Amino acid sequence: MAYKVLGKLVGNTGDASQLTMAVQDSFSVRRGEFVRIMHQERKDEGQVAVLGRVTKISRTNMLYNAGFGDGVD
């Protein structure tokens, strides 16, 4: 099954109730939507799709760099 990539998880992903995602554009997701997040627990395991729900959206214009793992103001 082909998935639509909405964005990328950023920052601390250790707390599953406080995940942050940088989306491709400001209209990629809506509050209340369920999204499938591809997750890989260990390097020797495959990716597994887990279910998440968008509970809050904050639109901020910032430069995102994957090397930093967070936004650059």
Ordered by start, the domain boundaries in the chain are 7-54
Among 38, 32, 34, 33, which residue's Cα sits nearest to residue 50? Answer: 38
Strand partners, 15: none
**Tell me, what's the pLDDT at 67?**
67
pTM, full prediction:
0.58
The parts of the chain modelled with pLDDT lower than 50 are none
**Tell me, what's the pLDDT at 44?**
94
